Amino acid sequence: MNETDWQDRYYDVDQILNTAGPRTDPEFLAGDGVKDFLRNKAKILVIGAGGLGCEILANLALTGFKDIHVIDMDTIDVSNLNRQFLFRHASLPKDVGRPKAIVAAEFIMNRVSGVKVTPCVSLDFLLVSHESFRYYGKIQDKDDEYYLQFNLVICGLDSVEARRWMSATLVNLVDPENPESLKPLIDGGTEGFKGQARVILPTVTSCYECSLDMLNKPTAFPICTIANTPRLPEHCIEWASVLEWPRVHGLDKKLDNDDPEHITWLYTIAAARAKEFNIDGVTWSLTQGVVKNIIPAIASTNAIIAGSFALRITLLFTYGSLASCCNEAFKIATSSAAYLNNYFMLIGTEGVYSYTFEHEKRNDCPVCGGEALELSISSELTVEELIELLVERQDVQIKKPSLSTPTMQLYLQAPPELEKATRPNLQKKVKELVPQQGEITVTSRSLPFSLSLSISYT
């Protein structure tokens, strides 16, 4: 593509970059300077190349970003093709079975000339193919230097744990003596017809950990309800998968959530039980959703949250009516408009409704707050019960926590020798081991931070 073709493609984008507007940052450098930064210097990391990630990658390329890196450790499945539009079933070679990161990068570079998309490079995966070990990667495998090379990071993940890890990592990178160490994080997510996009400025705005209490709590059905008094179609499906499957097939035949024949069997059994109890609503798709604990993905929601720039970028910036991941990336990279502060939510279940708000930082946030979380517990509570409380608590949500005090180890999940040595403490009361207003440090191998608890007793 020659320079004239490039200018024609980004004509609408250039209208924004050529002239300052009423919401332009005072440091905005209209004209060639900002274009040069956007197209030749800005380096963007996209984490996730699924439904949302495919949209983000395409929109970034069509907006003018030329140096894009993408991490995804998954491969393409047939079920992805209805919404992850960068992948094909009939192409040669077939995309199904290949790494998402490499296929997405190839597609973007083939369709948008002049753009370089670099799949994640990792040496810890070895594929028996010509693609060998080069394109897989986990965000947890990367060191600080890897993340410091980017101007901003965009997450299109479907994992709360991965989001928490990424947010905490970028907070830990910030060096007050080096402003360049602050890497803005743009996070997007969708659930059916609902979606959200947010801007996190590490150590400045609230981080992902600050807003854990906004997440939907995972649903668990009491076994007595699903066994004796089902009231919902989900109860019937849980009964079929948890109780009937092992009874009929035995413990040796494991239920495969990805096997259509297994899902069909569960659907048939659950539908029969629902009919027995006069319950409506058992469907094949609901059966799959309950068993796999998934919410159906809606392609249009992904598109809205990612942000479509190709045709309507001028309208987006003029009216500010659609906040999105790529919209915010463009504004942060160019200073051409005020970026989101800091939360946008789409409520599409009953129409196209959205709202924005600023989520406040938590002083007791273990990532960016600095203060201990005050926890009042019963004087009869055991260490094991405290662990269960931390796992279930909405603003903590920590898996397999290990507990220690400044003077002793209460319980360690690993290594096996220390787990065995501290196991007797599980049945002891916390009060026997930790004094009033004593401090407990909680850690987990899945998260790059520790949580400080200030314990009081009732």
Note the pLDDT of residue 318: 33
- Please calculate the CA angle 187-190-193 and round it to the nearest 5 degrees: 145
Per-residue pLDDT at 132 exceeds 60: no
What pLDDT is stored for residue 203 in this prediction? 93
Whole-structure pTM value: 0.77
Mean pLDDT, the chain, whole residue set: 84
- H-helix or E-strand containing 145? helix 144-148
pLDDT of 391-404, one tens digit each? 878 888 888 899 99
pLDDT score for 268 = 95
Contacts of 226 (CB under 8 A, 6+ apart): 235, 236, 238, 239, 242, 243
pLDDT of residue 244: 94
**Is pLDDT at 17 greater than 80 in this prediction?**
yes
Give pLDDT, residue 137: 63
Residue of 310 and 218 predicted with greater confidence: 218
pLDDT for 430 equals: 95
N-to-C CA span, the chain: 71
- Whether the pLDDT of residue 71 is over 80: the answer is yes
The pLDDT value recorded for residue 92 is: 61
Better-scored residue on pLDDT, 375 or 190: 375
Give percent above pLDDT 70 in the chain.
Answer: 87
Catalytically annotated residue among 54, 224, 236, 326: 224
Residue, of 425 and 311, whose pLDDT is higher? 425
Confidence class of residue 6 from pLDDT cuts 50, 70 and 90? low
What's the pLDDT score for residue 295?
62
Query: Measured between alpha carbons, how far is 357 from 375 in angstroms, rounded to an integer?
Result: 28
- Distance from the Cα of residue 440 to its chain's centroid: 28
Going by pLDDT thresholds of 50, 70 and 90, the confidence category of residue 127 is very low
DSSP 3-state of 159: coil
Partners of 319 in beta bridges: none
Partners of residue 355 on adjacent β-strands? 345
Structure token digits, residue 129: 């193919």
- How much is the average pLDDT of 401-423? 93
Instruction: Say if residues 395 and 212 touch (Cβ distance below 8 Å).
Output: yes
| Of residues 129 and 194, more confidently modeled | 194
pLDDT of residue 5: 59
Residue 382 in contact with residue 431, Cβ under 8 Å? no
Higher pLDDT, 200 or 288: 200
pLDDT in tens, 171-196: 999 999 999 999 999 998 887 788 88
More confident site: 441 or 130? 441
pLDDT band at 345 (very low <50, low <70, confident <90, very high): confident
Please check whether residue 393 is in contact with residue 435, taking contact to mean a CB–CB distance below 8 angstroms. no
Q: What is the mean pLDDT of residues 37-51?
A: 92
CA distance 304 to 321: 11
> pLDDT tens, 267-312?
999 999 999 999 998 998 889 888 876 566 777 778 878 863 333 3
**With 60 as the cut, is the pLDDT of residue 4 above it?**
no
Q: What is the pLDDT of residues 153-172, one digit of tens each?
A: 999 988 888 899 999 999 99
Alpha helices in 277-414 (DSSP H): 284-292, 299-306, 313-319, 325-334, 383-392
* Catalytic status, residue 207: no
What pLDDT sits at residue 128?
39
